Amino acid sequence: MTVKHRPSIDGLAAYKPGRAPAAGRPQVKLSSNEMPFGPLPAVLDAISHAAATLNRYPDFHRVRLTEALAERHGVDPSQVVVDNGSGALLQVLASVIAGPGDEILHAWRAFESYPIVTAVSGATGVTVPLDDRYTHDLPAMAAAVTDRTRMAIVCNPNNPTGTVVSRAELDRLLDALPDDVLLVLDEAYHDFVTDPRSPCGIDLVGERPNVAVLRTFSKAYGLAGLRVGYCVTRPETAELIRKAVVGFSVSTLAQAGALAALDPESDVELKRRVAHVVEERTRVAAELARLGVPVVPSQANFVFMPMPDGPAMAAALEERGVILRAYGTDGLRVTIGTTEENDRFLALAAELLRRS
C-alpha cells in the first residue's frame, strides 16, 4: 500500500546521479561535472579544525559564510541565503513560490532536477525545447509565459549542453515576466564561462526586482561532497527562502570549509584550476571534433556530444573504465578531468570510433 501523496510524484522519474566507479576497479569518473582535484590544504585544515566543535550545533544563520559571500559579490548579506547545495535551494524556491495550479517554466533539456522540484512543489512544469544550437530558446520561453507562471528557470551555462544565453536574450524573457514573477538563474557553472556575452546574473539582481541567482561550491570550488550552495537575490525574496530552509542544514564542517575556500589565497589556486579545466575543455572539444564526433561549444566544465548512439558509446567506454553520462538518444556528456583522464577518454573514444 502506498500512503496518500501528491499525484504529481507518480509520474516522476527519480533523479539519476552520474555513475560512480564500481568498488575495487580503477575507473575514471567523468559523469558528474565534478572537479578532478582534491580539496585545497587550507580547506582541509579549516574542516579538521572545525571538527573539534562537532558536539555543538552549527551556526544556524551561517553568518560568517553569508557575510564573506556578500562581500565577494558586492551585495548586502540580507541578499544571500546559504543552504546545503544549490539543488536544495532550487527545491525550497519552487516550493515557496509555486503550488498546485501554478506553472514553473524551464527549458528542456536542462538540469534534471527541474522537473523533480516542480513536481514536488505541486506546480505544473512547462518546458520549452532547446533551439537547434542546444541553447535556451528564450524568445519561445517568453512566449510561453502565462498568467499562471510563478517561476522561470534558466540554466546558464546549461547542463548538459554547456551553452550560454546573452544578456539581450535574457532581457527579452525578463520583459515578458511580470515584475513579481521570479526568474531563477542557475549559475552552477558560471566560473567556467569565458564568453563575454554571457551575463553575470548577480549584476541583474541589482537591476531587476525579480531575479534569484543560484551558485554552488560543488563545481569550480571542487567541494561537491561538502554540500554548500547559495542564492543571491533581493532581500524580500531572500527572506522568503530563509523562512523555508531546513534549520542547521549547513554543517559546521561545510561552513568552515566553504569559508576557507573563499580566502584570497585559496582563490589564486582555484582560479588556476579553473583555467586548466577551460584549457582542457578546448582541447577535448577540438580533439572530439577531429575524430568526427559532434560537439556543442561549451562554456562549462563538460562537453555535450549530440549523438543518438550515446548509450552504446557510454557502455563501451564504461567497460573500459571511463564513466560518462548518457542522455538516451539525445547525446552523451563528458566532464573535463585531469589531462591524463582526458587523454584516456580521448584515446578510448578514438579506438571505439575506429572499430565502428
Question: Contact residues for ligand PMP (CB under 6 A)?
Answer: 33, 85-87, 111, 155, 159, 186, 188, 216, 218, 224, 229
CB of 150 to ligand PMP, least distance (A): 19
**Shorter beta-carbon distance to ligand PMP: residue 46 or 116:** 116
CB of 157 to ligand PMP, least distance (A): 8
**Shorter beta-carbon distance to ligand PMP: residue 95 or 339:** 95
Contact 278, 129 (CB under 8 A): no
**Shorter beta-carbon distance to ligand PMP: residue 86 or 298:** 86
Q: Which residue is nearest to ligand PMP (CB)?
A: 85
CB of 56 to ligand PMP, least distance (A): 25
CB of 304 to ligand PMP, least distance (A): 12
**Shorter beta-carbon distance to ligand PMP: residue 121 or 216:** 216
CB of 4 to ligand PMP, least distance (A): 29
The DSSP-derived string for 143-205 is HT--TTEEEEEEESSPTTT-----HHHHHHHHHHS-TTSEEEEE-TTGGG---TTS--HHHHH
Query: H helices of 178-309, where?
Result: 201-207, 235-244, 252-261, 264-290
CB of 13 to ligand PMP, least distance (A): 16
Contact 65, 294 (CB under 8 A): no
**Shorter beta-carbon distance to ligand PMP: residue 89 or 348:** 89
Contact 190, 215 (CB under 8 A): yes
CA gap 144, 328 in Å, rounded:
26
Closest by CA to 173, choosing from 187, 163, 185, is: 185
Residue appearing with cell numbers 536544495: 88
Q: At what angle do helices 339-355 and 310-319 cross, to 10 degrees?
A: 120
**Shorter beta-carbon distance to ligand PMP: residue 111 or 304:** 111
CB of 85 to ligand PMP, least distance (A): 3
3 state DSSP class of 254: helix
Strand order in the sheet with 302-305: 302-305, 331-335, 325-327
